[in-house]
Structure 1
Amino acid sequence: MLDMLGIDLAPVVAEQPDPLLFATVSGAHLYGFPSRDSDVDLRGVHLLPTGALVGLREPEETRSRMWERDGVEMDLVTHDLRKFVRLMLRRNGYVLEQLLSPLVVHTTEAHRELAALAPGVITRHHAHHYRGFAATQVRLFRKTGELKPLLYTFRVLLTGIHLMRSGEVQPHLPTLVREVAEAPAYLPDLVAAKAEQEHGVADVDPARVEADVERLHGVLDEEQALSALPGAPTAYDALHDFVIRVRLAGAGDLSGPGSQG
């Protein structure tokens, strides 16, 4: 599944100072509109030893690194398990997309167990996450006129609408265009244009964009109000027990197959 990247990502996992529960590809590759010069966004969870959390030194709960490998810019961000699960419980759509990404670089049995618990953190309030990010991205589009923030705007609005209706986290824009009837008809053309140029200008009527963005915000509001999703996470206790068990077991609990390509 990762052959399209043309990069061997297994060494990236091996280089990490602490064991990884998982590493997946996020960003434009996950969203379905990478360009030829897109960087590779890797996201995952590392497991700090228990001693790192109980001593005097501040634990390295988040690690971030950017570098170039085989001529491609790489961006790696991992969170310690406890921090990642806390983010899951804060209506954070990003971490759910990372956890459930089908573009898997490295997985473990603990990763699969955590993914199975993910539906228990999804609530109707995740609409706020997608609504807020759409507002940020459309402001950037108005300033620059670039395709990238415009596609991000539509992607997050459609992801939010689809989530409110189905309870499924679907970040892949071409799939959303097929599954969400309200998606603007010109989106496939914009995706094709983005594939040719990472920072290209959107060839679309700004007035039409504004009308479509406003319309989709309205659809998201309506779907949130109608959604059968709960108002609060239901998996808190299960996630609490999971974090304790995996932490106490250490790397020995990260069983199952390793890197995938």
Structure 2
Amino acid sequence: MNKAPENVTPLNHLDGLDGLPAWLPAIAAEQPHPLLFATVSGAHLYGFPSADSDVDLRGVHLLPVEQVIGLYEGDDTITRTWRREGVEVDLVTHDLIKFCRLLLTRNGYVLEQLLSPLIVTSSPIHEELRAAAPGCLTRHHAHHYLGFARTQWTLFTKSRELKPLLYTFRVLLTGIHLMRTGEVVADLTRLYADAPPYLPGLVEAKKTAEHGTLPADAPDTAALETDVHRLTAALEQARDTSHLPEAPTAKRTLHDLIVRARLAAPHGLC
């Protein structure tokens, strides 16, 4: 395992992880490359985990210099899924360079992962990335949320499962809030102000089973579709009137951060 340079010394943050396994920080320490951060994403971040939900860990690792500039390149994305103490864990980490490149696109996933309040392990570089996040926001992030909503609505119409329906509402409401305020809020339960009145009840129903179907007392498909169309139009309008810039402004900040972190990394494989 590669030793972390001094400026990426992990800082464990267990606050806010109530209900999640206490061994999550140990997973961060077991990875083949130092993690600049690891956060919880997925249903736990979105505010509607079920009793049988898996734990989605997302983060950034730091490849050693020789695996970036040499002929033998390291993995810029590492994916692993396994079970620990009966809990399914899904881990995805990107190398710092790839993650920063994703931040400079209209990728809402990486912003939500970076800004997740469910922090498993952190570092000074993580804090710098979070500070740079506002400079990565653009009005074009609305396209990410609009596209994801269409995909999840299609899944719902085919499966009738509650999960893709909640994902549909979640991404639309997250996108609307982002376009209006410049704030990334992934937790659906914090976005009820613009939500249909039945949504809290659907969130409660989701807690009983990860792949449960729509409750019998839920609105019919026509009513749900009407609300999805309404929120889609609201997101499109919020995008068109948003004060967010057309392009990210944080490229130089992220470039300097990458260079400092990479040069501070220890040389030699261990």
The reply to whether residue 112 of structure 1 matches residue 127 of structure 2 is yes
Q: Does 1:191 align with 2:221?
A: no
Task: State the alpha-carbon separation in 1 of the partners of residues 89 and 211 from structure 2.
Answer: 18
- Structure with greater helix percent: 1
Cα distance in structure 1, aligned partners of 2:82 and 2:123:
25
| Aligned-residue CA RMSD (Å) | 1.1
| Separation (CA, whole Å) in 2 of partners of 1:29 and 1:65 | 19
Q: Counterparts of 1:121 and 1:10 in 2: how far apart (Å)?
A: 28
The aligned counterpart of 2:63 is 48
Question: Equivalents in 1 of 2:250, 2:227: separation in Å?
Answer: 36
Structure 2: distance between partners of 1:230 and 1:244: 26
Quote how far apart the aligned CAs of 1:55 are: 1.5
Structure 1 Cα separation of the partners of residues 148 and 74 of structure 2 = 29
TM-superposition CA deviations, 1:182-230 (whole Å, max 9, x none): x111110000000011111113210011100011110001101110000
CA contact (8 A) 1:23 1:42 kept: yes
Q: Which residue of 2 aligns with 1:88?
A: 103
- 1:58-137 paired onto structure 2 within 5 Å: 58-137=73-152
The answer to whether structure 1 residue 229 and structure 2 residue 241 are counterparts is: no
Q: Taking every aligned residue pair, what percent have the same amino acid on both sides?
A: 63
- What SS does the corresponding residue of 1:120 show, helix, strand or coil? helix
Distance 2:200 2:18 in 1: 23
SS of residue paired to 1:79:
strand
Of 191, 195, 213, 1:201 maps to 213
**Larger displacement relative to structure 2 (10-19 or 131-140):** 10-19
Whether contact under 8 Å (1:157, 1:216) holds in the other structure is yes
Question: How far apart, CA to CA, are the structure 1 residues paired with 2:261 and 2:88?
Answer: 32
* Equivalent of residue 145 in structure 1, options 136, 152, 160: 160
Q: What residue is the counterpart of 2:5 in the other structure?
A: none
Name the aligned partner's letter for residue 173 of structure 2.
Answer: L
**Structure 2: stretches of 5+ with no match in the other structure:** 1-15
Partners of 2:124 and 2:105 lie apart in 1 by 24
Separation in 2 of the partners of 1:83 and 1:40?
Answer: 23
- Alignment TM-score, normalising by the size of structure 1: 0.93
- The DSSP-based 3-state class of the residue aligned with 1:22 is strand
1:19, 1:251 within 8 Å by CA — same for their partners in 2?
A: no
1:98 Cα offset (Å): 0.4
Q: Which runs of 4+ in 1 moved over 2 A?
A: none
Q: Choose which of 26, 31, 36 in structure 2 pairs with 1:16.
A: 31
The equivalent residue for 1:257 is none
Tell me the alpha carbon deviations over residues 11-46 of structure 1, each in whole angstroms, 9 at most, x when there is no partner: 101111111100000000000000000000000000
The worse-fitting range, judged by mean Cα deviation, of 81-90 and 201-210 is: 201-210
Shift of 1:3: 2.7
Letter aligned with residue 236 of structure 2: D
Cα deviation 1:47-77 (Å, max 9, x = unaligned): 0001001121232000000011111000000
Shift of 1:6: 3.4
- Match of 1:4, SS? coil
Instruction: Using the TM superposition, give the Cα deviation of residue 251 of structure 1 relative to its aligned residue in structure 2, in angstroms.
Output: 6.2
* Aligned AA (2:89): M
Moved more, 159-168 or 11-20: 11-20
Structure 1 unaligned segments of length 5 or more: list them: 253-261
- Whole-angstrom distance in 2 between the partners of 1:172 and 1:236: 27
Residue pair 1:7, 1:70 contacting (<8 A) in 2 also: no
Matches within 5 A, 1:151-190: 151-177=166-192, 180-181=193-194, 183-190=195-202
Of the structure 1 ranges 129-138 and 198-207, higher mean CA displacement relative to structure 2 is found in: 198-207
Distance 1:136 1:7 in 2: 34
